[in-house]
Amino acid sequence: MSQKNTGELLELLKKSPSLGAYLNGNAEDLSSKELPELLNEALADQPISKSECIRRSGLDRTYAYQIFSGQKKPARDKVIALLLAMELSFEDAQHFLRRAGYPVLYPKNQRDCAFIYAFLHHLPVLELNYMLDELGEPLCT
């Protein structure tokens, strides 16, 4: 996954001699891929199968397969459950959310703090849901 953040990309765009040069030089950082392609690419980099990822996510099996195939456009929480199931790092999850067009996790939001903590401590979705329940927040799945 790419390492350039939004601020870095904006600075490069400001300094670029042309839009074409910017687009060509930063193609990896610009998202034109749909969610299913991004999910399948992220999963391909992990040592687990799609069925194992879905099992770990706690999502309904049929619904999760529909997410991977593009038949369903999931809410952010469902995507986060899949990313946790893949055991992505916090940084990779943030980058994924940006590329997929979802809001990144925000440390000033109590619910997002639970998500961030789960990524940083490699917690399964089940443990995340225990934390969310203790906070009085809706469960992730």
Q: Residue 22: exposed, middle, or buried by beta-carbon count in 10 A (0-12, 13-18, 19+)?
A: middle
Could you read off the pLDDT of 19-47 as tens digits, one per residue? 999 988 887 777 667 899 999 999 999 99
Cα–Cα distances in Å, from 94 out to 12, 65, 116? Answer: 21, 22, 9
Considering the segment(s) 34-134 as one domain, its CATH architecture is: Orthogonal Bundle (1.10)
What are the residues whose beta carbons fall under 8 Å from the beta carbon of 99, sequence distance 6 or more?
A: 31, 33, 38
Task: Give domain limits for the chain.
Answer: 1-30, 34-134
Q: pLDDT tens digits, residue range 37-76?
A: 999 999 999 999 999 999 999 999 999 999 999 999 999 9
pTM: 0.81
Q: For residues 87-96, b (16+ Cβ closer than 10 Å) or e, as one string?
A: bbebebbbbb
